[in-house]
Amino acid sequence: MSAEEEIRPPAVAPGLTVREATPDDNDALITVELQCPLLVGDIEETYDRSPDSFAFHRVQPDPRVVLAELDGRVIGVMAGVVHTPVIQGEPHRLVYIHQARVHPDFHHKGAAWAMASDLFAWSRERGAEGPYYLIAPGNEQSIAFGGRAGRRWPVDLTLLEFDVTDAGGDRAQGVPEERLAEAADLVNRTHSAVEFFEPLTPDSLAARLRARLYGVSSLRGLYEGGKFVAVAGLWDRGATTERIHFDSTTGTTSRSRGAAVPDWGWAVGWRKAFPELLRALAAEARALGRSGLTICEPLRGAVPDIGLARRRSTAAVYTPTLLPPPRDLISGLWVDLLHV
């Protein structure tokens, strides 16, 4: 049974339509996202993607962005990307729904369901067996939608965000294209046992590094006696997105732009070398004017300490078409930060 067949769909408001977004929709998409904060307990998180709402998606392979319209007005946006992570040792073709917004004045009109149905159909054409979602604790609206079919994993995904205010150090060396195969091998060796990790090949890594904001020049390497011992990629996410954080308990608003490390790993026996490389990326993020550097922490302690203050956040994982394994069979959780 498919995810969309498990639950009876809600009624869709007359006149509501869904279509793929185009560059002509840029301003409307920016506006609707600013009008749709994520509510997580007492916190409102809003993302400002001006001046180019599509820039964030250009680092992703073949994404689809759809919008919902009612009476000529854009009232919602949803985006997904299809990929093939490995789960319990088996590859699964899935669509990750990573952006879902509906204007508060138009809730309960079937817009989210209609947009999701479009993405489900599109992803099936690309071989996907179903969707998955990452939802922050306390985000009741998203849980009501993405988590409605259940099948929450017994372990949450964890992200670390390093405060780069005090980061310093020399810029790390780059990685020449002729060493991309080695870079892919380092990443694979480090994360091969982690759930939702999609192994890299030299070709797939080269394809990931095609974007202006995340290209071959974004990779950094550490070398010892000519041996390639650690690799990490720096994505300047803040160049496309500003996070607006409002705390309703204090009435305070803060704005931040961060960087992320989507791809990273080290050679066998060289975990001790990685902090030096990660500190260099933190210093580079600071030089870009970013406030933080985010990295996925597959397991507690998997990311070595680099001597900077850090904040840990979690998200629940839902796989409506896949039965989650028992907790003791989960060897860590991964998310591709280019998709988040």
Sheet (strand 94-102) strand order: 17-20, 64-70, 73-83, 94-102, 131-135, 310-318, 157-163, 292-296, 259-260
CA–CA gap between residue 163 and residue 172 (Å, rounded): 19
CA–CA gap between residue 340 and residue 330 (Å, rounded): 21
Residue 317 CA to chain centroid, in angstroms?
12
pLDDT at 3 over 80: no
pLDDT of residue 149: 64
Question: Where does residue 245 rank: exposed (0-12), middle (13-18), buried (19+ CB within 10 A)?
Answer: middle
pLDDT at 216 over 70: yes
pLDDT at 285 over 70: yes
**What is residue 158's three-state secondary structure?**
strand
3-state SS of 226-248 is: CEEEEEEECECHHHCCEEEEEEC
Contact 47, 240 (CB under 8 A): no
pLDDT at 1 over 70: no
Q: How many CB atoms lie within 10 A of CB 201?
A: 13
DSSP character at residue 13: P
pLDDT of residue 73: 95
**What is residue 180's three-state secondary structure?**
helix
Provide the b/e sequence for 131-141 (b: ≥16 CB within 10 Å).
bbbbbbeebeb
pLDDT of residue 148: 67
Contact 338, 235 (CB under 8 A): yes
Domain 3-146 has CATH 3.40.630.30: yes
Q: Domains of the chain: which residue ranges?
A: 3-146, 157-329
Ramachandran assignment for 301, one of left (phi > 0), alpha (psi -120 to 50 degrees), beta (any other): left
Say which CATH class 157-329 falls into.
alpha beta
- CA torsion 122-216-265-267 (nearest 10°) is 130
Q: Which two three-digit tokens encode residue 220?
A: 């950094």
Rounded to 5 degrees, what angle do the CA atoms 321, 324, 330 make?
145
Say which range, 8-12, 46-50, 93-97, 135-139, has the weakest mean pLDDT.
8-12
Q: Which amino acid is at 10?
A: P
CA–CA gap between residue 271 and residue 190 (Å, rounded): 9
More confident residue, 324 or 137: 324
CA–CA gap between residue 131 and residue 5 (Å, rounded): 12
Within this chain, domains 3-146 and 157-329 share the same CATH topology: yes
What confidence tier does 8 reach under pLDDT thresholds 50, 70, 90? low
pLDDT of residue 25: 97
Q: Which two three-digit tokens encode residue 162?
A: 């390093």
E strand segments, the chain = 17-20, 38-40, 43-48, 64-70, 73-83, 86-87, 90-91, 94-102, 131-135, 157-163, 173-174, 219-224, 227-233, 242-247, 252-256, 259-260, 264-266, 292-296, 310-318
What confidence tier does 7 reach under pLDDT thresholds 50, 70, 90? low
pTM here is 0.93
Q: Which two three-digit tokens encode residue 214?
A: 């995340």
Characterize the bridge pairing of strands 131-135 and 94-102: parallel
Alpha-carbon dihedral sign for residues 320, 323, 324, 327: positive
Provide the b/e sequence for 106-123 (b: ≥16 CB within 10 Å).
beebbbbbbbbbbbbebb
Question: Where does residue 331 rank: exposed (0-12), middle (13-18), buried (19+ CB within 10 A)?
Answer: middle
